């Protein structure tokens, strides 16, 4: 099936979950705009309750938006559900959703039938998927005996069994061991090579950096930024961090005062053991900080470049584990 130029298009999408009676409800998505070109692996990064799963569910046609527009492959997710469902595959996170008393093969046979496969075509497709996720040898074992990682791989196979053009992966590596997670990244690469579009929600920064062409940061139902992982990192290259080690304890307070006076220094604080951390918010501030530290006789100095996690924390803020309403 030929895909529209943009595999996913979301305009001013809003979803409010109403409480009981007269409660105003919670906006899980608020005026969200997002375009994902066909063939892109797109990451959706955000804390719990940010709206990632809500967006996935709306695109998967299992949740209706309150207002706004969303389409997949050029098909409206509200009015053209049948057309959308023919081209998507979805993997929700967690262990639920599998028939644990059936074998892996029986699970996949059922889901393959749900995509209209039958007979020899169905069997070949199921065998191919079992091989692709490395479960061929356990194909005829009941799923209830599987590890969490194996179940997650089976979830992946279920999502891909219909040969979808757009794959929605909602935290697909939850519970996978590092080896399986690495294989998953390879699998996503293969999906990209096949020309499929992937929307991947994750908490794992390394995963998003490793597999995504672009990443969207989401929090409180609003999209904060959409960029390539490297570009997002460059955003806060101005927020470089300089760590000084082995600073004599009696000099720490004085040095902190001096460093705060350097233009472009956003914050200075003591770190254990016997060190100082300097955060800058201007591109050329870090060299000045380093020079000052060296001139002050502090020779153990290190700078670090931000990874996606730091971008994430800078933009989302440091509200820890709190789930906002």
Partner 1 sequence: MNALAAGFTFEVRLLRRSFDEMMVLVTAPLMTLIFLSITEHAGRTDLAPYAVLAPALIALWTIALFTSGEIIERERQNGSLEPLVATPVAIGGVITGQILAVTLLSLVGFAESWLAAWAVFGIVVPIVHPTAFAAALVATAFAMAGTASVMSSVFVLSRSVRAYQNSLSYPFFVLGGVMVPVALLPEWIEPLSRVVFLSWSADVLRDSLTPEPVTSLVARLGVILALGATGFLVGLVLLRRAVDRLRRTGTIGFA
CB count within 10 Å of CB 86 equals 16
Looking at 90-98, 201-209, 307-315, 317-325, which segment touches partner 1 (CB under 8 A)? 90-98
The verdict on 61 binding partner 1 (CB under 8 A) reads: yes
In the list 4, 35, 102, 256, the residue contacting partner 1 (rule: CB under 8 A) is: 102
Task: Single out the segment in contact with partner 1 by CB under 8 A; choices: 101-109, 249-257, 274-282, 292-300.
Answer: 101-109
Which stretch of DSSP H or E encloses residue 255?
helix 252-260
Nearer to partner 1, 90 or 293 (CB): 90
* Residue 111 binding partner 1, by CB under 8 A: yes
Taking the C-alpha atoms of residue 116 and residue 161, their distance in angstroms, rounded to an integer, is 11
How far are the Cα atoms of 145, 209, 217, 280, 324 from residue 203, in angstroms, in the given order? 27, 11, 11, 26, 16
What is the rounded CA–CA span in Å between residue 322 and residue 38?
35
Q: Shortest Cβ distance from residue 177 to partner 1 (Å)?
A: 22
- Consecutive H or E run containing 8: strand 6-17
C-alpha 265/C-alpha 259 separation (Å) is 7
Site for partner 1 in 20-59 (CB under 8 A): 54, 57
- Pick one of 5, 33, 114, 231: the residue that binds partner 1 (CB under 8 A): 114
Residues 139-158 that bind partner 1 (CB under 8 A): 142, 158
Binder among 36, 55, 88, 104 for partner 1 (CB under 8 A) = 88
Q: Do the Cβ atoms of 33 and 12 come closer than 8 Å?
A: yes
Pick one of 1, 2, 82, 273: the residue that binds partner 1 (CB under 8 A): 82
Under the phi-then-psi rule, with left for phi > 0, alpha for psi from -120 to 50, and beta for the rest, what region is 103? Answer: beta
Token output for 10: 């979301």
Footprint on residues 118-137 left by partner 1 (CB under 8 A): 118
Name beta bridge partners: 248. Answer: none
90 binds partner 1 (CB under 8 A): yes
Cβ proximity of 242 and 255 under 8 Å: no
Q: Which is nearer to partner 1, 43 or 162 (CB)?
A: 162
CB of 60 to partner 1, least distance (A): 5
- Quick check: 253 binds partner 1 (CB under 8 A)? no
Q: Smallest distance from the beta carbon of 97 to partner 1, in angstroms?
A: 4
Q: How many CB atoms lie within 10 A of CB 5?
A: 10
Axis crossing angle, helix 119-132 with helix 104-114, rounded to the nearest 10: 130
Q: Is 98 in the site for partner 1 (CB under 8 A)?
A: yes
Where does this chain bind partner 1 (CB under 8 A)? Answer: 15, 17-18, 54, 57, 60-64, 82, 85-86, 88, 90, 92, 94, 96-99, 101-102, 106, 110-111, 113-116, 118, 142, 158-159, 162
């Amino acid at each position: 099936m030929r895909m529209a130029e943009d595999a996913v298009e979301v305009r001013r999408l809003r979803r409010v979950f109403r409480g009981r009676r007269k409660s105003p409800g919670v906006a899980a998505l608020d005026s969200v705009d997002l375009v994902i070109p066909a063939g892109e692996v797109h990451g959706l990064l955000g804390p719990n309750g940010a709206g990632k799963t809500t967006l996935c569910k709306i695109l998967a046609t299992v949740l209706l938006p309150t207002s706004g527009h969303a389409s997949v492959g050029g098909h409206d997710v509200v009015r053209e559900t049948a057309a959308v469902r023919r081209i998507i595959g979805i993997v929700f996170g967690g262990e639920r959703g599998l028939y644990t008393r059936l074998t892996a093969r029986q699970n996949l046979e059922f889901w393959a039938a749900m995509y209209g496969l039958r007979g020899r075509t169905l069997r070949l497709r199921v065998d191919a998927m079992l091989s692709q996720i490395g479960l061929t040898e356990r194909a005829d074992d009941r799923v209830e005996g599987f590890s969490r990682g194996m179940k997650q791989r089976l979830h992946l196979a279920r999502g891909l069994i219909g040969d979808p053009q757009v794959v929605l992966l909602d935290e697909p590596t939850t519970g996978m061991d590092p080896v399986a997670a690495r294989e998953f990244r390879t699998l996503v690469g293969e999906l990209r090579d096949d020309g499929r579009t992937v929307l991947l929600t994750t908490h794992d920064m390394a995963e998003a950096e490793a597999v995504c062409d672009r990443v969207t940061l989401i929090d409180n139902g609003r999209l904060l930024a959409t960029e390539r992982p490297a570009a997002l990192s460059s955003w806060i290259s101005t927020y470089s961090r300089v760590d000084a080690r082995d600073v004599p304890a009696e000099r720490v307070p004085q040095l902190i005062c001096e460093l705060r006076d350097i233009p472009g220094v956003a914050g200075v604080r003591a770190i254990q053991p016997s060190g100082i951390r300097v955060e800058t918010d201007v591109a050329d501030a870090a060299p000045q900080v380093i020079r000052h530290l060296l001139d002050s006789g502090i020779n153990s100095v290190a700078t670090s470049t931000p990874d996606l996690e730091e971008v994430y924390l800078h933009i989302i803020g440091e509200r820890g584990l709190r789930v906002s309403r």
